[in-house]
Structures are given as structure tokens and as C-alpha cells.
Amino acid sequence: MSRTLILGGALSALVVLAALVSFVWTPFEHTAMNIPTKLQTPNGTHWFGTDHFGRDMFSMIMVGARTSIAVAFVAVGIGIGLGVPLGLWAAARQGGWVDEVIMRGNDLIFAFPSLVIAILITAIFGASAINAIIAIGIFNIPVFARVTRGGALPIWAREFILAARVAGKGAGRISYEHVLPNIANLLIVQATIQFSLGILAEAALSYVGLGAQPPTPSWGRMLADAQTLVSIAPHMALVPGFAIILTVLGLNLLGDGLRDALDPKLRVARV
């Protein structure tokens, strides 16, 4: 196991652990306001300090991890659930009209500035975590479709696929039986990358008020709250910022570590 993998795995595990523990325990009630103790810098009682309402930031970060993870996780699920079958289908019909339509559709989605569309969707259909998930998830579909197709095409050129065709197997069965297991590593690595991008996107949407709504805590909204107070209470911006950076860093390191451990030649898309 490489150091990258261990460090990335540990950071990612830490965040997941924080989110899980928050269901049963947080140092303080994360919504409990206490004006007299507002804007405290990190100290023995409030490990990460308090915000402008005197809420305990450590507790808020723990509960906020739930939102980040849930949004990113479901968004990646949407991307895999729709993108992988589309990519497999396109690869099985390489050069045909199905392939053409799927890939042109992909290009078209890529042509939309993703964040703008996410903003549009959440603005029109209302700001909520669900809409944020859908908005982020839609843009995961072409990523997975493209990576799947890219990984599947060289597999389709291998002779064991021809052998399976000689054995009378159809394209669907070959895709499932022979292609998918051989691109699983690629998809796992890509999923960790999309997961980290999902966390960044959720933070951005929440920051502009279009993600999870109060009282659901979210790291992005904590940063929005911090903006006007950044000169007098920098910790309010630093704490959620570091939470995001460490989570994303951990996931990216995990992805790189997995890639090196599984197959250093994997070609993942990074945008």
C-alpha cells in the first residue's frame, strides 16, 4: 500500500466517520444558538470556535459532512447508474448511430457550463439538497459515459471478445460479462474523483444559497455566513474551508492511490 493510498484513505475515512458519529453524538446541539458565546476562536470547550450565533462549529462541521457526503454520493450514483450503461451501449455499437447519438448528446451536455445549469435548475425548481443532487448528477452522466466508452473500446478490440461472439453471446451479455469487470478499476477511480468534485460543487451551490436549506447544516453555507465576518472572525471561514479542502484532498489521494494500486495505466478524466 502506498503512502498516497493510506493518507487518502485515512482522510476520507475520517470524514465519513465524523458524518456517521454525528448521528449519535456531537459535542453540542449543532443548531443551538448562544449569543453570549458568539464568535469565539477555537478553544477547549468549542474546539473549532463558535459562529455569529454562538453555535458550536465542530458540531456543525460534523453534521455538515453528512450533507456533503450524501449529495456527492447520490450524484455519483446518478452518474454511474445512467452513464455506465450508456457508455457500454455506445462502445458495443461503436461507429453506429447509437454511438453517435450518445456521444453527441455527451458533447452537448459538456457544452453547458455545468455550474450555470445547476444554478438554473435549483433556481427554477427551488433551492434544496435534492435539486442540487440532480443538478450535479446530470453532469456526472456524460463523464461516466465517456470514460466507460473510452475504457470499453480497447476491450472490445481484444480477442476474447471475438471468442465470446463465436460462442454466440450477444452484445449485452458480453458488455456485462467481459467488458464491465475489466473496466471496474477505471470506474472506481473515476468515482472517487467525481465524488470529490461533487463535494466542491455542493459547497459552491450552498454558498450561493442554492443547496441544502436551513436548518440542514452545510459547509458551503457556513462559508457564506462567514463572508461578511471574515475580517473579525477569520476562523469562521478557515474551519469549513479546511474541512472541504481536506475532504477533497483525501478523496483525490484515495483515487490516485487506488489507480496506482489497481493499474497505473488507467486513463481517467479529470476536469
Partner 1 sequence: MSLLSVENLSLSIRGTSILQDVSLQIDAGEVVAITGESGSGKSMTALAVMQLLPDGSEVDGQIVLDGNNVTAMDEAALCRLRGDIVGMVFQEPMTALNPVQTIGAQVAETVRLHRPDLDPATHASEVLARVGLPPGLIPMSRYPHELSGGQRQRVVIAIAIACGPKLLIADEPTTALDVTTQAQILDLLVQLAREDGMGLMMITHDLAVVAQLAQRIIVMQNGAVVEAGDTPALLTSPQHPYTQALFAASNHQVTLPEIAQTAPLLRVENVVRDYALPRTRLFRRPATHRAVDRVSFDIARGERVGLVGESGCGKSTLTRAILGLEPVQSGSITLDGTPVFSGGAPDLTVRRRMQVVFQDPYGSFNPRHRVARLITEPFHLLDTPPDNTGDRIAGALTAVGLSPGDAQKYPHQFSGGQRQRLAIARALIIQPDLIVFDEAVSALDVSVRAQILDLIAGLCVQYDLTYLFISHDLSVVRTITDRVLVMQAGQIVEQGATEAVFTAPTHPYTQTLIDAAPTLPASSKTKVMQ
Partner 2 sequence: MLRYALKRLLSLMISLAIASLVIFAVIEVAPGDPASFMLGINAQEDTLAALRAELGLDQSKLQRYLGWVVGMLQGDFGTSYQYRTPVAEMIGDRLWVSLPLAIYALTLSTLIAFPAGIYAAARRGKAGDIGVMGATQIGVAIPNFWFAMMLVLVFAINLRWFSAGGFAGWDKGIFAALKSLTLPAIALALPQAAILARVMRSALLDVMGEDFMRTARAKGLSRAQALRRHGLRNAMIPVLTILGLQFSFLLAGGIIIEQVFYLPGLGRLIFQSISARDLIVVESVTMLLVFAVIVMNFLVDLAYAAVDPRLRARA
List binders of partner 1 among 149-188 (CB under 8 A): 158-160, 162-170, 177-178, 181-182
Task: Name which position in 82, 117, 171, 262 contacts partner 2 (CB under 8 A).
Answer: 117
Which one, 107 or 177, has the nearer CB to partner 1?
177
# chain residues binding partner 2, by CB under 8 A: 42
# chain residues binding partner 1, by CB under 8 A: 16
Backbone angles phi, psi at 56, to 5 degrees: -75, 120
Q: Residue 91 interacts with partner 1 (CB under 8 A)?
A: no
Q: What SS3 class is residue 214?
A: coil
> Could you tell me which of 144, 141, 120 has the C-alpha nearest to residue 132?
120
Distance CA 240, CA 218 (A): 9
Alpha-carbon dihedral 93, 136, 194, 234, rounded to 10 degrees: 170
Closest approach of Cβ 207 to partner 2, in Å?
A: 6
Determine whether 85 is exposed, middle or buried from the number of CB atoms within 10 Å of its CB (0-12, 13-18, 19+).
Answer: middle
Task: Name which position in 14, 120, 134, 171 contacts partner 2 (CB under 8 A).
Answer: 120
- Stretch touching partner 2 by CB under 8 A, among 22-30, 52-60, 67-75, 219-227: 219-227
* Contact of residue 208 among partner 2, partner 1, none (CB under 5-8 Å per partner type): partner 2
Which one, 92 or 197, has the nearer CB to partner 2?
197
Task: Name which position in 23, 125, 160, 176 contacts partner 2 (CB under 8 A).
Answer: 125
73 touches 86 (CB < 8 A): no
Question: Which of the 8 DSSP states describes residue 12?
Answer: H
List binders of partner 2 among 220-249 (CB under 8 A): 223, 226-227, 230-231, 234, 237, 240-241, 244-249
Distance CA 234, CA 158 (A): 57
